[in-house]
Structure 1
Amino acid sequence: MAEKLAPEKRHTFVHNGQKVFEWDQTLEEVNMYIELPKGVPTKLFRCTIKASHVEVGICGNPPYLNHDLTHPVKTDSSFWTIGLIDESDCS
């Protein structure tokens, strides 16, 4: 596993008092964690990763994350997945 940058925890991006996403990073990669709103089917989630831009949102709505990146990313090795949370882990 690549060495984590300090501090070794997830960081939170908050806008207008609402958590938008969390992230962690190593010297080689950045991981973003986005919680879908309750009741939104996973098939409606959209994520577009370009060399200098990222968009995240729900199909049929404006993206809620629409951001130019400070440094270019390697799009050929970038990907996104949807993971399900076991509610028993959230206690």
Structure 2
Amino acid sequence: MSTSPTPSERERSDAEAKAREKEEQAKLPYKWTQTIKDLDVAVPVAGTLRGKDIEVVMTKTKLKVAIKGQEPFIDGDLTHAIKVDESAWTLESVSGGGKEVSIHLDKSNKMEWWNAVVTNAEYKIDTSKVVPENSKLGDLDGETRGMVEKMMYDQRQKEMGKPTSEEEGKMDMLKKFQAQHPEMDFSNAKFS
């Protein structure tokens, strides 16, 4: 008979997995971070390089980053699609005299965590352990914000035993129908 791990065992297991993941990510020739909306990649390069020495190819589904004439740092299919027009790269100086190719990728699907930058990445992260940054309703686009506000309203209504926005809409339609058809008897009607 198997038993569930205790909270301390689960915590230790999660900590070990996180340490292993961090170690694996450190072996990559680049660093990357993400939010639910975008992804940033930093590729360290020699301080003597200039923009014309760097080759960055970005399409909706592919990314290649290399020093011209050398083996690429990244070359593969992106884990998910990006908005190319909203994505960009720069070559920036960093402390210690080096430089880095800084790449900003704007995710097409703003509701999805990536487990790697490219599908052929040697190391992938466990996206179920991603802890999102706190966001405010104001950070969301209009359509998403409306959807979230409706879900929050419906949740509060359910907790108070009141009808959801959808149920309220049905009741309003029924009241209008009853007002338009006073000759009909709704006294024995049952609604589910």
- TM-score, with length taken from structure 1: 0.68
Question: Residue 31 of structure 2 aligns with which residue?
Answer: 22
Is contact 2:50–2:91 with CA below 8 Å preserved after alignment? Answer: yes
Unaligned runs of 5+ in 1: 1-6
Q: Deviations over 1:19-72 (max 9, x none)?
A: 411011101000001101x36512311111110000000112242311101211
Q: Please give the alpha-carbon distance, in whole angstroms, between the structure 2 residues aligned to 1:59 and 1:40.
A: 14
Q: CA RMSD in A?
A: 2.3
Unaligned runs of 5+ in 2: 1-17, 98-192
Greater strand content:
1
Question: Residue 42 of structure 1 aligns with which residue?
Answer: 50
Q: Please give the alpha-carbon distance, in whole angstroms, between the structure 2 residues aligned to 1:65 and 1:50.
A: 13
Question: Residue 93 of structure 2 aligns with which residue?
Answer: 84
Identity of aligned residues (%): 23
Instruction: Tell me if 1:56 matches 2:45.
Output: no
- TM-score, with length taken from structure 2: 0.35
Structure ID, larger Rg: 2
Task: Evaluate the alpha carbon distance shift between residue 73 and residue 42 of structure 1 in structure 2; reply closer, same or farther with a 3 A threshold.
Answer: same
Segments of 4+ in structure 1 off by > 4 A? Answer: none
